[in-house]
Amino acid sequence: QTEIEWWHAFTGRLGDLVAEQVETFNASQSEYKVVASHKGNYSETLNAGIAAFRAGEQPEILMVFEVGTATMMAAQGAIKPVYEVMEDAGVTWDPDAYIGSVKGYYTNTDGQMLSLPFNSSTPVLWQNRDAFEEAGLDPDMDLSTWQQVGEALDALKAAGHDCPLTTAWQSWIHLENLSAYHNVPFATENNGFAGLNTELAFNSPTHVNHIQAMGDWAQDGKFVYKGRRNEGGADFRAGTCALFTESSAGYAGISSEAEFDFEVRPLPYWDGVDGAPQNTIIGGASLWVMAGHSEEEYKGVAELLNFLSSPEIQAKWHQDTGYLPITAAAGELTKEQGFYEANPGTDIAVMQMTAKQPTENSKGLRLGSFDQIRGIIDEELEAVWSGDKTAQAALDSAVERGNVLLRRFEAAN
């Protein structure tokens, strides 16, 4: 048996679900054995993959969050593009089966797919309906706009709620997706898609107004900051927080753990901003195939990637996790199976991504050293939440500091 190593960043319910997929694949054939290992959070998994490559001990497959995409694309000697893996292995594979907004993120300028879009998500608003009722609010109230959310936060706070709103992935949701959703650039050069000479642009009035509103809510105890990744998830699942901006893939944990009536709502937008709501952009991760392995191993990789993209497996993954159905066929199958009807709100993520034709501002982001830039953004946002900086000062500083890293990346690539 040929062994295929797959390094990923999943624990908890998502970890169990990946293990289940691997078991299904391993049981479906006898030539290959996939061994999946958890390598820490997204950043740790990316760094483990890079370090392993340098040491000549890289796995066949590495899960890299969307933030690491430009870094992986630039690491030419370290990866084997997915389209090449599929071609060489001779497996029947249709790159057009993947939905455009997801595929576009992971293809090069010639339209060739470099990594497999395995777990793509988009941010939504999670609501604890019981908390609304307890605060005397109508749980069905409209929460489409941030103005309406602001009113709900006032009422929750007035009713003595300790955590009216929290968030996961603050840069992803409150700056990166905020930009796309309000059709303003996060960075120049089409958010980096048009060239390495991109500069950050997330200190416009739209950005500043939103971050200042969140900062004011933080000062008033209406927005409670829990951490840079998805630390807030535990609080929301335990029923401690009433509203939670988080990935659609929060569904995996929430649907299996929450002992309250929860609901998925679209990500709110600011009423009055021209063109909003546009569309949100993806997050999550894709699977990169690493260089330096044998033909036989790559064949196994191709079989696995094909298996993961098959309508049945992908539809189940989408329904279990809340990640987007990455192929049109998986989406159709989910509809036919009656899943959206039985689980209202589970189609919101797909609709939010695809309701409008994406613009130059809403196709996604492709920025070098972006994990480090997110670190800078996190630090600056934390200064706003704690009341140490105004939104304008923090975002100006994040743009300036982030641009230094972009110039270094440009010079090195």
Ligand X SMILES: O=P(O)(O)OC[C@H](O)CO
Residues lying near ligand X in the complex (CB under 6 A) are found at 42, 65-67, 119, 121, 169, 172, 230, 247, 249, 283-284
Q: How far is the CB of 384 from ligand X (least distance, A)?
A: 20
Indicate the pairing of strand 2-8 with strand 61-65.
parallel
Q: Which is nearer to ligand X, 67 or 276 (CB)?
A: 67
Q: How far is the CB of 248 from ligand X (least distance, A)?
A: 7
Q: How far is the CB of 224 from ligand X (least distance, A)?
A: 19
Q: How far is the CB of 219 from ligand X (least distance, A)?
A: 26
Q: How far is the CB of 264 from ligand X (least distance, A)?
A: 14
Q: Which residue is nearest to ligand X (CB)?
A: 283
Length of the chain: 413
Q: Which is nearer to ligand X, 119 or 314 (CB)?
A: 119
Q: How far is the CB of 139 from ligand X (least distance, A)?
A: 25
CA pair distance 105, 396, nearest whole angstrom:
27
Q: Which burial class, exposed, middle or buried, applies to 188 when counting CB atoms under 10 A from its CB (0-12, 13-18, 19+)?
A: middle
Partners of 125 in beta bridges:
245, 265
Query: In 3D, which of 20, 22, 21, 17 has the Cα closest to residue 5?
Result: 22
Q: Which is nearer to ligand X, 45 or 327 (CB)?
A: 45
CA pair distance 235, 260, nearest whole angstrom:
13
Q: How far is the CB of 245 from ligand X (least distance, A)?
A: 11
Helix then strand then coil, % of the chain, to nearest 5 = 50, 15, 35
CA pair distance 362, 355, nearest whole angstrom:
12
Q: Which is nearer to ligand X, 210 or 228 (CB)?
A: 228
Q: Which is nearer to ligand X, 66 or 320 (CB)?
A: 66
Q: How far is the CB of 122 from ligand X (least distance, A)?
A: 8
Q: Which is nearer to ligand X, 33 or 229 (CB)?
A: 229
**Token pair in block for residue 135:** 């605060």
Q: Which is nearer to ligand X, 98 or 298 (CB)?
A: 98
**Number of other residues whose CB lies within 10 A of the CB of residue 325:** 26
Secondary structure class of 56 (helix, strand, coil): coil
* Residue 17, CA atoms < 13 Å, CB-side half-sphere: 23
Secondary structure class of 125 (helix, strand, coil): strand
User: Contact 79/291 with Cβ under 8 angstroms?
Assistant: yes
Q: Which is nearer to ligand X, 89 or 252 (CB)?
A: 252
User: Contact 374/171 with Cβ under 8 angstroms?
Assistant: yes
Secondary structure class of 179 (helix, strand, coil): helix
